Amino acid sequence: MTDQGIGARVLRKEDKRFITGKGKYTDDIVQPNQAYAAFVRSPHAHANVKSIDASAAEAMEGVEAVLNGHQLTGDGIGNIICGWGITSKDGSPMNMGAWSALATDKVRYVGDAVAVVIADSKAQAQAAAEAVMVEYEVLPATSNVLASMKEGAPQIHENAPGNLIFDWEIGNKDETDAALASAHHTTTMDITNNRLSPNPMEPRSAVATFDESEDHYTLYTTSQNPHVARLVLSAFYNVAPEHKLRVIAPDVGGGFGAKIYIYPEEIVCLWASMKTNRSVKWTSTRSEAFLTDAHGRDHVSTATMGFDADNNIVGFKVNTKANLGAYMSLFSSSVPTYLYATLLSGQYNIANVYCDVQTYYTNTVPVDAYRGAGRPEAAYLIERMIETAARELGVDPGELRRQNFVREFPHQTPVIMAYDSGDFAGNLDQAKAAADVAGFPARKEEAAKRGKLRGLGYSNYIEACGIAPSAAVGSLGAGVGLWESAEVRVNPVGTIEILTGSHSHGQGHETTFAQLVSERFDLPTDNIQIVHGDTDKVQFGMGTYGSRSGAVGMSAISKALDKVEAKVKKIAAHVLEASEDDIVIEGGEVKVKGTDKAMGWHEVGLSAYTAHNLPEGMEPGLKEGAFYDPTNFTFPAGCYICEVEVDPQTGVTEIVQFTASDDFGTIINPMIVEGQVHGGIAQGIGQAMMEHAVYDDDGQLLSGSYMDYCMPRADDVPNYTVSHHSTTCPGNPLGMKGCGEAGAIGSPPAVINAITDAIGNNNLSMPATPSRVWAALQQVSAAQAAE
Amino acid sequence: MTKVTMTVNGKARSAEVPDNTLLVDYIRENLRLTGTHVGCDTSQCGACVVHVNGQAVKACTMLAASAEGAEVTTIEGVAAGKDDLHPMQIAFKENHGLQCGFCTPGMIMTATDMVSRYKEAGKTLDEHAIREELEGNICRCTGYHNIVKAIADGASKMA
């Protein structure tokens, strides 16, 4: 390999523009004759729209147009879709309520847009939006699943009686019930997974331009998957046919799932550009982001885990009620089903698993995938359960896990997934050693002398990434295939462009992908350019989410590189009069093994394009493409150990040590992978201790700014000790598993297991704020006083 | 409308702007210096930090008119010359202190300010101090680990 190939800590190629302020984000883009959009949003969670009076707004200076939902639907703009169909237990399809990009007769959450103002300046648009008079008939609202499922609850969509979207199941109910009935010990818990606001730091933004002379649209947007955006905007929303719509996702400032979906604002900006014949720009304020970016999590579950007399897990049964918000967002239905319950076997060999899931509408912003998407909910459930069971059984929580680990691969779980590789005990051992678990009792004793309660918690997560085999997800209801595409262009001077359908919004693809090419052709990464995020440049792609860019996106690149390598060898063998089998590529040259015969790498490129001396029948040029469809999910896994100190006087918890041992398979750039783990752990700590998206009973968002929604700051989180113990993934050519979500999946249960260990009370929900921890400590004191 | 005149990254700049124009909007929209970002609307996130007369300021908390006559430095102006990088910029790259890059300009402007203040006061900028000083800057990508490392490294390079 080169010093810039696989496994090298190469500094990022993309950093220069970001550290100098030259990054190009959507809001930085200015089009000629650009106007600004401001949305008129419902202040009510649930209301009938009686009338909209735009006359005052229309008369204001700079206002180009005020447009409403009736005009939008009248122009044939289609309703927003959910792209994954889920079938209920009784065979019925899910109840998908209509979602227009601008509401027509009814609004269903605070922030639901009813009209848009297009004006010369942002300030003029905002002022005019406030002057649009909307008459509402306010209806009773519901903001959580327990309220939505009640008899007589407000009916949010006519075609979803009782607000039920679907009632789905997986696994074998009868066998699981029987296993639990005959279990020696059972642990039962009610577990809530708190609702979160994703909060990428760059707010969503869109700049739409309609070119009347060409009947063509261009959309700059903050998207994790510009091709999917174009497909959906075209095929379902009827904004423009695909060949007349270019979608560009330039530098995107974080996604975390929230920028997968195609939101009302992008549809409206495109349509309004056509209506007004001007470029239309909209950039979300942070307040709008809290109201309108799809939220994450929000599960309420009851679970029972059963053990035999030897502490082997014999059955696991879960019921989950999931809040999907006021409308079904693009992948919302897949999150609490196939991305969640299929992971409920965890790292453990459990013969019987059953889960049923009911999803409900509420008068809240839609809920969809947020970093981890279903897998954090599964990991939290399993890892809280097994830690609690260990305490009830009086055994070491690490050892209870160890004895139940899956040890042979492939391993078919009772809930679809077939784990292909892993060494769970190896990760446990590595993490235990790094965290010095053996020294914990002494540290606890020392902390007690300082008046602090010290606790330690484990989490052994597993997730499914590399999303996903197209035929498999198709059979489960997905509306799309989840392969990836790549194109490798070797230029006549030997430099290389890689066109990829993956999209980087912080992950460092420009560096990591270049390292893959550097490894293959022994070229410096400076000679390699990664092109992504533009539907006019890249043929098609499925984008970046579900930790798929490595395992799927890079596998596509690898396949295309195979083809380029084969052609390079053919050309060199022909020119150098040698056998293809004797050609090697190294040190910037293409050589005949064991001889001094060689061509420069650039000479091969030049030969391909001059085409003066190519093998008989060979086409000129050096450009190859590939599509890669994975054969299985990948299964990153690991062990996280969190150690905390709680101040019993205040309930303030400090994470004093956080240790991770991950199995991501092959790692291309350890520096970047460690960064992904750091960020994921911080988000998981945020969920565990700080973050909570809260609506009141009337559907008003109480956590609508950074003053109310507690984002982790630098002084809230520790340094992280990150290590790797990897097994190669047999499912893709590079052996990669994916690392983007692991931190956020694995860390919340480790944190809560540590805090509950410290305070001696298992009755603690996320986020474990100081007031909640303090209250839990008071329960302990009260119980002790009563004894 | 108000006429504002200030020095931005060493150049005299002047424009007529609406009275309520925020400094950040003046920098981004009028001067087209788009390295200064807007990540929130409550002055919490710090993506818009610039230096005004040598002090770190959230440019969303200040009117352009309030910066009348001021010396303003943005991320585009921290390096000594066109082809140079500031030691703190280098430190962010070398320590992988950024991922999506959106908070990065504000982080770097805050970092150089904290290093200067601590040096002037003769105080030690240790890890704990760096973390406390970053209270006004939010990053969603890095988990802060490498930002803290970068600032410590940048501080030593600025010495």
Tell me if chain A has a CB within 8 Å of the CB of B44. yes
Sign of CA dihedral A499, A502, A505, A508: negative
Does one domain contain both B93 and B56? no
Tell me if chain B has a CB within 8 Å of the CB of A15. yes
Nearest to B146 among A30, A252, A675 (CB): A675
User: How many Cα atoms within 13 Å fall on the side-chain side of residue A409?
Assistant: 17
In chain B, residues with a C-beta closer than 8 Å to the C-beta of A286 are 39-42, 45
Q: Between residues 18 and 37 of chain B, which touch chain A (CB distance below 8 Å)?
A: 18, 20, 28, 32-37
Sign of CA dihedral A175, A181, A185, A190: positive
Does one domain contain both B120 and B56? no
Tell me if chain A has a CB within 8 Å of the CB of B154. no
Is B1 buried (19+), middle (13-18) or exposed (0-12) by CB count in 10 A? exposed
Cβ distance B142 to A679 less than 8 Å, yes or no, reads yes
CB A113 within 8 Å of CB A100: no
Question: What is the residue type of A651?
Answer: G
Q: How far apart are CA A68 and CA A70, in angstroms?
A: 6
- pLDDT > 90: what percent of chain A? 98
The answer, yes or no, to whether residue A2 has pLDDT greater than 90, is no
**How is residue A238 annotated by DSSP?**
-
Does one domain contain both B51 and B107? no
Q: What is the pLDDT of residue A611?
A: 96
Tell me if chain B has a CB within 8 Å of the CB of A62. no
Cβ distance A21 to B89 less than 8 Å, yes or no, reads no
Name the average pLDDT for chain A. Answer: 97
Q: What is the pLDDT of residue B155?
A: 97
Q: Chain A: residue nearest B21 by CA?
A: A123
Tell me if chain B has a CB within 8 Å of the CB of A713. yes
In chain A, residues with a C-beta closer than 8 Å to the C-beta of B145 are 678, 717, 719-720
Does one domain contain both B61 and B92? no
Residue B124: inside a domain:
yes
pLDDT tens-digit readout, A466-500: 988 999 999 999 988 999 999 999 999 999 999 99
Does one domain contain both B62 and B7? yes
Does one domain contain both B70 and B106? no
pLDDT tens-digit readout, A419-470: 999 999 999 999 999 999 999 999 999 999 999 999 999 999 999 999 889 9
> Domain boundary residue among B77, B99, B120?
B77
Cα distance from B10 to chain A (closest Cα, Å)? 16
Identify the band that residue A70 occupies on the pLDDT scale cut at 50, 70 and 90: very high
Cα distance from B122 to chain A (closest Cα, Å)? 22
Q: Between residues 23 and 42 of chain A, which touch chain B (CB distance below 8 Å)?
A: 23-25, 27-28, 30
Q: What is the pLDDT of residue B51?
A: 98
- Segment A221-232 shows an average pLDDT of 97
Q: How far apart are CA A115 and CA A483, in angstroms?
A: 37
pLDDT tens-digit readout, B52-84: 999 999 999 999 999 999 999 999 999 998 889
Cβ distance B99 to A506 less than 8 Å, yes or no, reads yes
Residue B43: inside a domain:
yes
Identify the band that residue A314 occupies on the pLDDT scale cut at 50, 70 and 90: very high
- Segment A392-409 shows an average pLDDT of 98
Does one domain contain both B96 and B67? no
Identify the band that residue B159 occupies on the pLDDT scale cut at 50, 70 and 90: confident
Number of domains, chain B: 2
The pairing of beta strand A528-531 with beta strand A496-500: parallel
Cβ distance B105 to A715 less than 8 Å, yes or no, reads no
Q: How far apart are CA A766 and CA B5, in angstroms?
A: 50
Does one domain contain both B17 and B38? yes
pLDDT tens-digit readout, A325-343: 999 999 999 999 999 999 9
- Segment A361-379 shows an average pLDDT of 98
In chain A, residues with a C-beta closer than 8 Å to the C-beta of B35 are 20-23
Residue B153: inside a domain:
yes
Both tokens of A99, joined, read 């979602």
Q: Chain A: residue nearest B134 by CA?
A: A714
The answer, yes or no, to whether residue A787 has pLDDT greater than 90, is no
Q: What is the pLDDT of residue B82?
A: 84
Q: Chain A: residue nearest B22 by CA?
A: A123
Does one domain contain both B69 and B100? no
CATH number at residue B44: 3.10.20.30
Tell me if chain A has a CB within 8 Å of the CB of B144. yes
Cα distance from A671 to chain B (closest Cα, Å)? 7
> Domain boundary residue among B77, B104, B126?
B77
The count of other CB atoms within 10 Å of the CB of residue A681 is 30
Angle at A231 between CA A236 and CA A223, to 5 degrees: 110
The answer, yes or no, to whether residue A1 has pLDDT greater than 90, is no
Contacts of A735 (CB under 8 A, 6+ apart): A665, A666, A728, A729
Does one domain contain both B148 and B92? yes
Tell me if chain B has a CB within 8 Å of the CB of A681. yes
Residue B16: inside a domain:
yes
Residue B31: inside a domain:
yes
Q: How far apart are CA A360 and CA A323, in angstroms?
A: 5
Angle at A610 between CA A604 and CA A614, to 5 degrees: 65
Q: How many CB pairs under 8 A join A and B?
A: 176
- What is the side-by-side order of every strand in the sheet holding A299-307? A164-171, A353-360, A313-323, A299-307, A185-193
- Segment A739-744 shows an average pLDDT of 97
Does one domain contain both B94 and B58? no
Nearest residue to A483 (alpha-carbon basis) of A466, A499, A504: A466
Q: What is the pLDDT of residue A458?
A: 98
The answer, yes or no, to whether residue A48 has pLDDT greater than 60, is yes
Does one domain contain both B53 and B92? no
Give all domains of chain A, ordered by start, each with its CATH number: 15-20+483-628 (3.30.365.10), 420-463+633-786 (3.30.365.10)
Residue B108: inside a domain:
yes
Mutate which: B16, B17, B31, B40, vs A, most A CBs within 10 A = B40
Mutate which: A13, A18, A685, vs B, most B CBs within 10 A = A18
> Domain boundary residue among B77, B95, B123?
B77
Nearest residue to A484 (alpha-carbon basis) of A466, A496, A497, A472: A466
In chain A, residues with a C-beta closer than 8 Å to the C-beta of B112 are none
Please give the torsion angle defined by the CA atoms of residues A600, A602, A607 and A610, in that order, rounded to the nearest 10 degrees. -150
CATH number at residue B109: 1.10.150.120
Cα distance from B120 to chain A (closest Cα, Å)? 23
Cα distance from B45 to chain A (closest Cα, Å)? 8
Residue B82: inside a domain:
no
Residue B38: inside a domain:
yes
Question: The domain containing residue B46 runs over which residues?
Answer: 2-77
